[in-house]
Structure 1
């Protein structure tokens, strides 16, 4: 079994994530992925013998649409996804990754180049293990983006990814994660 097959098998334990994948697939958003926390934390929950959905505070949904970088266009997508998922017991947090460069420096204190794709945004997550996106294509096949593979994810290793996020962001996330999953092996910022 490949890492991606194993990842799918583990993610299927999270019925909410599978439902989000199915509902968002029908919306046909450009370059969409539920990503980061909802995927990674599902894996950690399953590997540590917890309920698959335990402690997942939101389900991040990224897409990339550079045709209109205005807030109103992103807000329309947020409302559309919200309506599609309104009966689910979770918050689905929607972000247009084509707009990140417009607000990133104001929030994190460092500039961010525009992302050309959602995959580029996933590649810039602060921890190697969290650089994971998954979606279900129109034909029902699962599609994954995991540029670093799944080795760290399955080994419960949190390692810095110094592409974009500052040290403080990595350390804050790693500390929060380790408080929920004490089995994690957090690597220090180099």
Structure 2
């Protein structure tokens, strides 16, 4: 069972496919980036459920922060570059310097700030590499909910009833409990 950030980093380091994906993202040369969301959360939940095969992901989210070029074309060019490195990955690259516009939120100031505003604490996770190519876990709300397999809204999604409704709608649509039956929804 997982109990620490080190445990999470260890299971990711032991997964050749995950490391290939992280190394591909690192090759883009971005300064503030992460492979995030379901990429990390699903690995944790698969491990906690003793799943022998990784859960297939709809996409692999690579996020970065560059306020100097917020064009979607830049994101698509990065996706193309990633596909040239690993062609069979469903890459999704998003510059968090523009995503606040899509979400109608105040501007984010970094990749970590954007991840902190994901809907669920268990999904508000990312993995990146430092300048020494060492894995670094980004967990602005900690790892406790991910490890405990508890779904709760991030503080950003607790600020209004409309944001809470978005959280609950998303949890319902994703239906994570069908695949990971030990996942629970926290009462807020």
TM-score by length of 1: 0.85
Q: Aligned residue for 1:96?
A: 95
Q: Deviations over 1:8-28 (max 9, x none)?
A: 122235432211111211221
Match of residue 146, structure 1, among 121, 139, 142:
139
Gaps of 5+ in 2: none
1:30 pairs with 2:31: yes
Q: Give the secondary-structure state (helix, strand or coil) at the position aligned to 2:154.
A: coil
> What is the RMSD of the two structures over their aligned residues, measured on CA atoms?
2.0
Equivalent residue, structure 2, for 1:44 = 45
Is the CA contact (8 Å cut-off) linking 1:78 and 1:94 kept in structure 2? yes
Equivalent residue, structure 1, for 2:68: 67
Q: Which runs of 4+ in 1 moved over 6 A?
A: none
- The structural deviation recorded for 1:157 is 1.1
Q: Measure, in 1, the Cα distance between the counterparts of 2:69 and 2:183.
A: 40
Instruction: Determine helix, strand or coil for the equivalent of 2:27.
Output: helix
Q: How far apart in 2 are the matches of 1:174 and 1:146?
A: 20
For these two proteins, the number of residue pairs brought into alignment is 181
Distance 1:71 1:58 in 2: 17
1:1-190 equivalences in 2 (<5 Å): 3-86=4-87, 88=88, 90-104=89-103, 111-164=104-157, 166-175=163-172, 176-188=175-187, 190=188
Would the aligned equivalents of 2:141 and 2:154 in 1 still touch at CA under 8 Å?
A: no
Task: Return the TM-score normalized by structure 2.
Answer: 0.86
* Higher alpha-carbon deviation: 162-171 or 65-74: 162-171
Uncovered stretches (5+) of structure 1, i.e. residues with no partner:
105-110
34-43 vs 173-182, which moves further: 173-182
Shift in Å at residue 101 of structure 1? 2.4
Task: Write the deviation string for residues 148-188 of structure 1: whole angstroms up to 9, x where unpaired.
Answer: 22111111111111404823332233232122211101114
Call closer, same or farther: CA 1:13–1:47 in 2, change over 3 Å.
farther
CA offsets, 1:91-144, max 9 Å, x none? 12111111112322xxxxxx2111111111100011111111111234221112
Which one is further off, 135-144 or 162-171?
Answer: 162-171
